[in-house]
């Protein structure tokens, strides 16, 4: 079995998106800067349609690690986009163009059913209406020996952590203060974490944690 | 001139103390674990009355750095302790015994005046009733070429950051989820930070930031 994991860039004050998210600013005001360490990387640019060139930094092996060995992806409706509520139409097929950078099945957690959307390059969006737990289970069945990546946003990650469904995660800690927006580590339950890796790069630090099994209670 | 700085251990969800702080649990429920990386260090134990022995880890040079070159300390009333409101008596002289680990003047920000308390080992507590700004100024005048350490708690650090009075700080990022308590980075204003150092140690990562001057606006 692969592991179930997530990775996300976070401001120093704990937000993964700034305030007032919108279709034109999906990461909210100031939130794009969370990715300032990533978007110049060649390892990122070659994965994303319309980008070329780029550099290598101490962040490169981290990005390569988090992108490797993914067999299926889980994401929330807000991350997939297309606005809240029932689908107005199904012409919205995500933020990423016709060839999204996932190249695996992607399970989108939503209250509103719609047919799966097969994209170029191996990405297929499936829409799961019976919760985060069911989406993770479907993703694990698909991924098999490979890993399940929980892509976001905050709410889906929080539910997955609270369910005890996450094995490990990478936080990319940026030197931003966003002040408001979507906080990552709230409502995640009583987690026991162990720091298993850290990479100090230029204006970002990558910290990897393992989620430990709940503490055994002494027999009474 | 020295710099004005702080250093504090923070949970991964951004708290420097857990919920329900009390005289018996000054760091709140679960908050003592924020210092699990520090209390075994010989570099910490030799500074604290009643402790001996200890080890060295990659955290040791960080602790030595943050303890070095301090000419004066600023702290809030809650950190000094003795309960809230007017001083019932002045027999409370802090949490640290007769020989506190500061060995410099310490400026305690409080609404309630009381005479300075001279302790063993060079520590003198002064009680400042006209605000964080005044306490930092007094500390700078005392420290001269040496640094001012803002010792905490969260509220004093927040006010100092919002005043633009902090030059740099170290966060010791621990793998704890406290869930509630005293959050550090709220109400700190619009800060521009630069990551200037990072040390990955055992179950803690030490990150140092420089507070950059406000962005210059283009002349209109």
The percent of residues in chain B predicted with pLDDT above 90, rounded, is: 84
Kindly state whether B199 is in contact with chain A, defined as any CB-CB distance less than 8 angstroms: yes
pLDDT digits (tens, 9 = 90+) for B39-98: 999 999 988 878 999 999 999 999 999 999 999 999 999 899 888 899 988 899 998 999
Among the listed residues B78, B82, B104, B108, the one whose alpha carbon sits nearest the alpha carbon of residue B93:
B82
As beta bridge partners, residue B68 has: none
Give residue A159's pLDDT. 97
Are the CB atoms for B169 and B5 separated by under 8 Å?
A: yes
Are the CB atoms for B30 and B166 separated by under 8 Å?
A: no
Q: Cα(B151)–Cα(B170) distance, rounded to whole angstroms?
A: 12
Interface test with A, best of B192, B198, B199, B206 (most A CBs within 10 A): B198
Give residue B181's pLDDT. 96
Q: Cα(A185)–Cα(B163) distance, rounded to whole angstroms?
A: 28
Q: Cα(A35)–Cα(A178) distance, rounded to whole angstroms?
A: 13
Interface test with B, best of A62, A170, A198 (most B CBs within 10 A): A198
pLDDT digits (tens, 9 = 90+) for A115-161: 999 999 999 999 999 999 999 999 999 999 999 999 999 999 999 99
pLDDT band at residue A213 under the 50/70/90 scheme = confident
Q: Cα(B45)–Cα(B47) distance, rounded to whole angstroms?
A: 5
pTM of this structure: 0.93
Q: Which range among A32-36, A156-160, B116-120, B212-216 shows the weakest confidence by mean pLDDT?
A: B212-216
Encoded tokens for A171:
């936080």
The full DSSP string for B102-163 is: T-SEEEEE-SS----EE-GGG-EEEEE-SHHHHHHHHHHHHHTTSEEEEEE-HHHHHHHHHT
pLDDT digits (tens, 9 = 90+) for B94-117: 989 999 999 999 999 999 999 999
Range A87-98 average pLDDT: 90
Kindly state whether A58 is in contact with chain B, defined as any CB-CB distance less than 8 angstroms: no
Q: CA nearest B208 in A: which residue?
A: A175
């Amino acid at each position: 079995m692969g592991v179930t994991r997530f990775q996300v860039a976070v401001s120093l004050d704990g937000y993964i998106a700034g305030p007032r998210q919108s279709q034109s600013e999906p990461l909210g005001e100031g939130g794009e800067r969370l990715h300032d360490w990533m978007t110049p990387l060649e390892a990122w640019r070659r994965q994303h349609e319309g980008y070329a060139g780029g550099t290598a930094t101490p962040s490169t092996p981290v990005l390569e690690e988090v992108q490797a060995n993914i067999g299926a992806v889980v994401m929330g409706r807000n991350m997939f986009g297309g606005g809240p509520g029932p689908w107005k139409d199904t012409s919205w097929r995500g933020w990423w163009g016709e060839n999204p950078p996932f190249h695996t099945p992607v399970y989108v957690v939503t209250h509103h059913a719609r047919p799966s959307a097969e994209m170029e390059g191996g990405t297929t969006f499936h829409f799961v209406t019976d919760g985060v737990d069911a989406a993770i289970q479907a993703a694990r069945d698909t991924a098999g020996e490979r890993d399940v990546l929980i892509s976001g946003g905050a709410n889906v990650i929080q539910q997955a952590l609270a369910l005890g469904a996450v094995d490990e995660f990478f936080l990319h800690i940026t030197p931003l203060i966003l002040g408001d927006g979507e906080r990552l580590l709230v409502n995640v339950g009583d987690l026991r974490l162990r720091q298993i890796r850290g990479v100090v790069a230029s204006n970002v630090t990558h910290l990897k944690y393992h989620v430990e099994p709940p503490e055994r209670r002494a027999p009474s």
